[in-house]
Chain A
Amino acid sequence: MASASSPLDTVVLTIAQSLSAVERTFYKLPGSAIIERYVRSSHQNDPGRTFLELIIFFLVVRTLLQSRTRADSNNAKNFIEFTEKEIDELVEDWVPEPLSRPLDDVEAAELAAVPVVAGPNGPHPTLVNTGKPAINLASLNFTGLANNEHIKQRALEAMRKYGVGSCGPTGFYGNFDVHIQCEKDIAEFLDTESAILYWQGFSTISSVIPAFCKRGDIIVVDRAVTLSIQKGMEISRSTIRWYDHNDLHSLEEVLQSVEKERRKRKGPLTRRFIITEGIFERDGTMTDLPKLIELKQKYKYRLILDESFSFGSVGRTGRGLTELYNVKASKVDMLVGSCAIGLCATGGFCAGSKNVVEHQRINAPAYVFSASMPPLLAVSASEGINVLRDTPSLLTRLQDNIRAARALLDQVECISIPSHRASPIIHIYLRNTTYTDNLLHPSSAASMPSSKPSNPTSPIPRDAPVFDIEREERLLQEVVEEAMAQGVMITKAKRVRGLEISEARPSIRLAMSSALSKSDTEKAVHVLVKILKRKFR
């Protein structure tokens, strides 16, 4: 008997011992007395509560354990269990779409017709397409800096000092003295506190925007902004409100509606931005900067202004819109420009206050994660600024050429030109009188604009202009190719149809240059005018 009970006794004894050990340890823990007192008193008062608290405790533990795999458990609702064999069959059955569609005939023809310059580009390049020299109204060489011998010489010297590549991002030994100098030059030229260089014009603003605008911030933006701005906003995930293209009245209405919305929700103060372009890439219209600044200050917004096409082309020395309207550049919070377009180098910049610039050095993806600009191109940009500053005659010649071209184009009936009279890029639309009858709904919408404002949450305006993209693209392409055959290099404004937030109207985009003489400009535009008149009589 004693021998039979002894193993049982040992077990009981062990359990009792370990229990008391647990108890001792529990009392040794700091604060255990408090817990004990709490449990005891609450249990005495209401045993049901103890039970409830236990349930809550387990729920908390469960949630904590789950949170790590929350994504999966959300999916679990939709998750279908398959056996390995079924998965194999599904894999077997799955037929993906091809990675890319081959070009159709129209696309292939258009790609083949893209002008390719043999040798250096400039006012009179030789084309690979025709094998003949042409007058250049397509390339962006507003002030003729691409052919400046002085800049070339300085760039050569820089190459012999720095090599070509910079071999690293700015953070890690890609921060050359010439980059710092170029940033300084830009800031001084525009008279802002500071400036930051990016390495590609297109990537500049699409990286500046997400550096500042985050989820929950508000962006009020023009409906016809260029693709790089659209992409930047998409990455930023901010709340976007649209106003009618280049219509500051519409802007004010949107600003008011945003303010109303905020008051209603009583939300916290968020960052608010107005984003627009100086000269619009899409159609060459120009923003009324003084009015815009007045609005931005009144409603306390920050302004991100894309001057890609206005920097280096308007104003007495090419400082852009701020010089043209005599507005202090420091009033624009983030002034974005392009060294590739305005200075015929490469890259872009954002000028602003020290805070604004330093913030981007850590937060702008295209700046942080990319190797810096080849030093020799930073030198070309710096020299470009010097040339602009010292020779205002370049800008007057450019304006003369623009005026000459506009005078000729204005005589043509079958086209309309949305671009501003000072804009160095001139967009040419076909007038749509010729085919309005063919439209399914020749409704009143097009002819009688309603007085109601557009919906600010949609990028499409209320009275969207109606045009037949395919037809206009085709007709314009015919004009372009005919002009090229006659020794005038022009181009359609190229788009990535279907990938932009709204479709831009097809247009021919002329780019004026002070490197061309006035007579050459007139000669070239005259050829174009003749073709247009003959084709669309």
Chain B
Amino acid sequence: MSTPALSLSSSFTNSTADTLLTQADAENSHGLAFPVEPPTSEQVHTTVHTEFGHCSNEAHRRFSSHIPNTPVLHPEDRDPPYYVLLSTYVSYLILIVLGHMRDLLGKRFRAKSYKHLMPSNGYAPLNSDFDSFYTRRLKKRMEECFSQPVTGVAGRTIQILDRYSKDFNHTQTSLNTVTRALNISSYNYLGFAQARGGCADAVEEGMKIYGVSTCGSRLEGGSSDLHTTTESLVAKFVGTEDALVSSMGFATNSTYIPALVSKGCLVISDEFNHASIRFGVRSSGAQVRMFKHNDTNALEALLREAISQGQPKTHRPWKKILVIVEGIFSMEGTMIDLPTILALKDKYKFYLFVDEAHSIGGIGLHGRGIADYYAVDPRKIDVLMGTFTKSFGAAGGYIAGSKVLIDRLRIRSYTGPYAEAMAPPVLTQIVASMASIMGVDNPAGTSMESLAPSSSSSTLQLISSSTSPEAQYHHPGPVPQGFLPAWITLPYALSSGFEGRERLRRLSFNSYYLHRGLDKLGFITYGHPCSPIVPLLIFNPGKMMMFHRMMKDRQTPIITVVVAYPATPLITSRVRFCVSASHTKDDIDCILRACDEIGDVLDLKHGISRKDRWSLDEICRRAVELVNLPDHEN
């Protein structure tokens, strides 16, 4: 069952047909297929470099944790110069005016191509031209940035199916060629998107036993013992009494929130919460109020108002108040100030729902998300929701909380009776990846290494300089063997938890490095340096597409996600990098170099003043130092 170790020396010979690199890969002209520096004979890498980069440098690691008794970091948003704002508004104005002119003239002179927007044959148009204006006239122009077809594993690199448009983006024509690109866009925080390795082997084993489907919903004959096992493992991982899993991340929010609140309840939601939360709240019938993004003062003011005023008109007290926030926000990379929110919770008696879609597995000393990061007992949070897409290389979502809550949700949400249960391959992937982050407690007695390695790693100072977080928060530790299905055998690197820890620390290093590197180059970024989501502000809509294309057309192609209105406010269009543990320092260097060059061409550097900036070479050379700067000194 075990996959041969794929070090450089073996990867030429050992790759099976489907991981076999294409012709271009073998030449390594893009520098993605093989590491720049070949590994020494002691370094044995068990991963495929294109899926999970080889990195043996212990200095390129960092711990992800909040230092107790220090203020929570609130990175301030830098504003761009006025001419950037002005030109952005003017760009949109031109786009809108041109679009309306085209619509006006087009309907007169080319009625045929506007047919689907006009009433015909007694049917109203499916799509009014006003509603679809943004899509047709703005998004269409940058169609090449979206829905890029891909193939292979969405790991450190990904293969894109080349395409072009002959008819001004109405259709895309495939070229039948494939390009390997550095992937800084997929949600693959811990690098578990792999088709080779211990987790994939476990999934194969699981599929041989369980097949691909459990046939039906959880309450109507689609439950399997694998679901039960996974749920208790998730509860153990997150640190709550109980947990349940649901086959789709979006649906976890949209179908479980209505089971928590109803008419007469109030939901207080961060203004940048994900669409799935809004969908769920809207279908719950509860009242909803929003507060300014990540502003605990605004939250407190709103709470005071809501509780004192009661329900609108009747002034009856609210049945319950549920505050919904995200651990790390998907477009901003900002992190909530959990200690302050918990203090508010004690005072104002609301229930707290934290969507950990982007923070579970991604942050915290043990990868257990936001509570772990702040070293807070996760049971203080009433509802912990998260997804398996981002850090575990799987799919679907979970809800964790007290047993009373979870049991109620099992029978009271729409998912239990109506939605299909999670598929066995996905469940196995979750079990295998989670177990390898936690480490498996071996009853035979090979003791777990203590979490902080005893080596003289420079990151250690962070931990030792402060009081140990363990004093306040006791993390659950490795998972007992009994929590895993008997047929799962993980290789030692995974079951010892060693690789899991490496992944966590590599992710943290990469996040800090990219974040601070971009800052030092002079770009405007948002969010917490610890977050694997690194938004880089672009502002002008035209530059967005240029940035995307210039990154993709480089010698080493880099694929990026550009997001604009309506996912972000109109003015703050951005490119969103998603860092992964699978990236090596060389990869991040490569991205920084690309950004540096493109940033100069497109005039994107509006961040820190010129005298504070570092040159690219300096950043690459002093990376470790940069990453290990304490949060508040940077």
Contact = CB atoms under 8 A, between A and B. Distances in A.
Partners in one complex: yes
Nearest to B274: A369
B224 interface: yes
Contacts of A494: 217, 219-220, 411, 416-417
Interface of B: 16, 18, 51, 116, 119, 121-127, 131, 135, 139, 146-155, 158, 160-161, 183, 185-188, 192-196, 200, 203-204, 207-225, 227-228, 247-251, 254-255, 258-260, 274-276, 279, 282-283, 303-304, 307-309, 312-313, 315, 317-322, 347-351, 382-383, 387-390, 392-395, 404-405, 407-420, 423-426, 429, 559, 561
Contacts of B147: 170-171, 175, 361
A98 B415 CA distance: 22
B394 A140 contact: no
B407 A111 contact: yes
Interface string A177-220: 10010000000000000000001111100100000101001000
Interface in A388-408: none
A206 B404 CA distance: 28
Contacts of A102: 404, 407-408
Contacts of B200: 159-160, 163-164
Contact of B214 (A108, A111, A139): A139
B126 A165 contact: no
A99 B212 contact: no
16 contacts: A91-B307, A94-B317, A96-B319, A101-B404, A117-B223, A122-B215, A139-B216, A146-B213, A146-B215, A152-B208, A167-B393, A200-B247, A202-B418, A206-B254, A359-B126, A365-B275
A155 B224 contact: no
Interface stretch (A11-19, A82-90, A241-249, A445-453): A82-90
Contact of A356 (B126, B158, B255): B126
A390 B331 CA distance: 46
Contacts of A122: 211, 215
A96 B211 CA distance: 46
A470 B257 CA distance: 26
A180 B146 CA distance: 15
Contacts of B283: 231, 234-235
Nearest to B350: A96
A235 B414 contact: no
A173 B150 contact: yes
A235 B215 contact: no
Contacts of A152: 207-208, 211-212
Nearest to B247: A200
B400 to A, nearest CB: 13
Nearest to A114: B219
A164 B150 CA distance: 15
Interface residues on A, range: 35 or more
Interface in A362-388: 362, 365-366, 368-371, 373-374, 376-377, 380
A168 B320 contact: no
Interface stretch (A26-34, A73-81, A459-467, A516-524): A73-81
Contacts, number: 383
A415 interface: no
A493 B274 CA distance: 32
Contact of B321 (A96, A120, A177): A96
B224 A116 contact: yes
A171 B143 CA distance: 10
A152 B307 CA distance: 55
A459 to B, nearest CB: 15
A427 interface: no
B535 to A, nearest CB: 13
B116 A355 contact: yes
A362 B146 CA distance: 11
A355 to B, nearest CB: 5
Given A80-B315, A170-B147, A355-B126, 20 more contacts: A94-B318, A94-B349, A99-B351, A140-B215, A159-B425, A160-B195, A167-B390, A173-B185, A176-B151, A180-B149, A199-B248, A203-B255, A269-B124, A344-B215, A355-B127, A370-B250, A374-B395, A494-B217, A494-B219, A494-B417
Contacts of B349: 91, 94-96
Contacts of B152: 161-162
Nearest to A101: B408
B425 A172 contact: no
Interface in A237-256: none
Contact of B225 (A100, A108, A118): A118
Interface string A53-68: 0000000000000000
